[in-house]
Amino acid sequence: MSVDIAVIDYGMGNLRSVSKAIEHVAPAASVVVTSDPAVIAAAGRVVFPGQGAAPDCMREIDARGLRQVIVDAARSKPFLGICMGMQVLFDHSEEGDTACLGILPGTVQRFPHEAMHDEAGNKLKVPHMGWNNVHQAIPHPLWVGIEEGARFYFVHSYFVQPASPEVIAGFSHYPFPFTCAVATANIFAVQFHPEKSQNDGLTLLGNFVTWNPGASETACDMSGAACA
Amino acid sequence: MLAKRIIPCLDVTNGRVVKGVNFVELKDAGDPVEIARRYNEAGADELTFLDITASSDNRDLILHIIEAVASEVFIPLTVGGGVRAVGDVQRLLNAGADKISINTSAIANPQLVKDAADRYGSQCIVVAIDAKRVGDHWEVFSHGGRNATGLDAITWAKKMESLGAGELLLTSMDRDGTKSGFDLELTRAISDAVDIPIIASGGVGNLQHLVDGVKEGRADAVLAASIFHFGEYGIDEAKRYMKQHGIEVRL
């Protein structure tokens, strides 16, 4: 039997929070935490979480034979990357000089030590840990019901630098602007933790479980030039 | 802009919250799940559970509590107390904890911090430091502040950072329970010595103490128990007070 939502388990971190938060917003859906490529391939939508270090993440993905099914899912169905699950979608991470999945062009870099101070000269700590404002760079079905500048919970020391600015869906400041959400046709990926960001996080997850990426394109086709 | 965090701390023993929590119409003042839910609704930025269960027989109770809380409260949860091995870290993370706080075991076996951080990431490893002023410096104490270790607190904080701690929970033993405010000098000395976030703890008696901890102590987060539990101040009230004093908070 195929499942509605597969949460990819590759041995990196607390997946219970992610699955519980999704169950909370989609009580009727079947949600499984799985490392079975067949289950992931058959799922209607995929959540790709992750914590820890990039080299370990990539090693565990390959050790479980998950690389291809992740790449396929990211190209074909509603796909939500969270934290490390966002970073490894890109080409390369500075963390451990790691080649990543290369689904999105760009790199992952550490918050540079020399830049980590606020306007008053106070030191800013790394990891960037806590609740920061998320600015919505584009309108998107996953932002619906979430105020511009709403706070989400972050904990990370590296951030993504997409090669194509058009994928940037959201950004935050620490102290400089950095990309904290990206979107393509069927991928939405975030640096923050929606599963730990209380009501706004649950809203985002709720938007994901009902997101129909094809629908907006169809709407564009039907309305013709207005979407060009 | 990143907000400074307010973190209520709940002491749990044998599956019950002790030290009483005084919410209006709270049905069961010892039920960790109901208390967590109320703090979440009140705007707590994270929750910390300190397991002070003495008997090893009842240690698994904390796992059930975390499982239950993590199923309905969607903010970061930190758990400390009795964490002795990487296996303990794993069990707590699997139960739904986001961060694990290590104290006495880090002193007995610093390698535990490195092993746990290497395996699960620095983001989930908090080292708790209980420090007390001794002469011209601060010394680290273990076993809930009972045993002197001979370790200098600043040196120890740097060592924990280098082994992979992602955050430090700093408690002043001199101030804990006094309601006379954080040891600001200690907090600032540790915060300046490391690049990872510091949670200040021990001594909060009023809302100005929270402001001082951030502004003077340079803490990234403030932890308190009694002022919130006994209803002296609400989380929202504390945040508004901090905001009035120019501190960025999540409202």
A128 is catalytic: no
Residue A168 neighbours by CB under 8 Å, 6+ apart: A137, A138, A162, A179, A181, A182
- pLDDT given for residue B14 in this prediction: 86
Amino acid letter, B242? M
- Give this complex's ipTM: 0.95
- Mean residue pLDDT of chain B comes to 93
Does residue A177 contact residue A190 with C-beta atoms inside 8 Å? no
Q: What are the chain A neighbours of B94 within 8 Å (beta carbons)?
A: 14, 16
Query: Which residue is catalytic, options A100, A156, A180, A193?
Result: A193
Mean pLDDT of B94-123: 94
Mean pLDDT calculated for residue range B110-134: 95
Q: Distance between alpha carbon A73 and the CA centroid of its chain, in Å?
A: 14
**Residue A107: which pLDDT band, with cuts at 50, 70 and 90?**
very high
One-letter amino acid for residue B83 of the chain: V
Average pLDDT, integer, range A183-202: 97
Q: With contact defined as beta carbons under 8 Å apart, do B202 and B172 qualify? A: yes
Q: What is the pTM of this model?
A: 0.94
* pLDDT (0 to 100) of residue A220: 41
**Rounded to a whole number, what is the distance in Å from the CA of A191 to chain B's nearest CA?**
13
Chain B residue numbers with beta carbons less than 8 Å from the beta carbon of A193 are 76
Residue range A82-87: mean pLDDT, rounded: 96
Find, among A118, A86, A117, A115, the residue nearest to A103 by Cα: A86
Tokens of B202: 């021990």
Strands (DSSP E) along chain B, which ranges? 5-13, 16-17, 47-51, 77-80, 99-102, 125-134, 137-142, 147-152, 167-172, 198-201, 221-224
Query: In Å, how far are A31, A101, A127, B220 from A49, measured between CA atoms?
Result: 14, 14, 18, 26
User: What's the average model confidence in pLDDT over A36-61?
Assistant: 94
**pLDDT of B199 strictly over 90:** yes
Chain A residues touching B70 at Cβ < 8 A: 16-17, 20
Structure tokens at B10: 């709940």
Catalytic-role residue among B45, B51, B130, B212? B130
Decide the pairing of beta strands A106-110 and A158-162: antiparallel
pLDDT band, very low/low/confident/very high, at A227 (cuts 50, 70, 90) = very low
For residue A218, pLDDT beyond 70: no
Residue range B127-165, pLDDT digits in tens = 999 999 999 999 999 988 889 999 999 999 999 999 999
Q: How far is B180 from chain A (nearest CA, A)?
A: 26
Q: For A120-160, write each residue's pLDDT tens digit.
A: 889 999 999 999 999 999 999 999 999 999 999 999 999 99
Q: Produce one character per residue of A129-144: b if its CB has 16 or more CB atoms within 10 Å, e if not.
A: bbbbbbebbeebbbbe
